[in-house]
Amino acid sequence: MSSCDDAADDDAVAGGFAIVDGKYNAEVMSKHGFNLSINVGQPKFAKLAAGQISGMVDAAAGAKVTVTVDGKSYVAIVGNAGAWTVRLPKALAPGSHKVTAVASLQSKGSDFTTTGAAASRKIGSGSSRMGAVMRP
């Protein structure tokens, strides 16, 4: 740790620690005296292809996106650029389907899970090449 020149109090100190990774991370150093809250954004749907739904989310790599289609849930892991893809066991049958996606992250060393806002869309028969379209 080093002195903090910008602090209003002459006795203030500043230090830098990895937030939740490594032996000397902020959570270990504080003896679990706080709950770490991390921004996890609302997923945005990008496309529906035959047997998969994909999108983007403002969340760290390794976060999970849980996608529920007509009551059945599927999980995707967020990549480095925030992209996610859920592979469905088979293509959706023709008709209208309700799709909900929510992202969450439980950081290494933390027992607290941060969950973002849910996003919902209707998927219905349409004129796209894949036979289905996302509807706002």
Beta strand ranges found along 16-131 (DSSP E):
44-49, 52-56, 64-69, 72-77, 83-87, 97-106, 113-115, 119-125
Q: Which of 36, 25, 45, 24 is nearest to 105 (CA)?
A: 36
Q: Is the pTM value of this prediction over 0.85?
A: no
User: In which band, very low, low, confident or very high, does the pLDDT at 125 lie, cut at 50, 70 and 90?
Assistant: low
* pLDDT tens digit sequence for 1-49: 334 444 455 555 555 555 556 666 666 666 655 555 577 899 999 987 7
Most confident region among 35-39, 93-97, 109-113 by mean pLDDT: 93-97
Q: Please tell me what DSSP assigns to residue 25.
A: B
User: In which band, very low, low, confident or very high, does the pLDDT at 89 lie, cut at 50, 70 and 90?
Assistant: confident
Q: Which domains does the chain have, with CATH numbers?
A: 1-34 (no CATH), 39-135 (2.60.40)
Both tokens assigned to 91: 């293509």
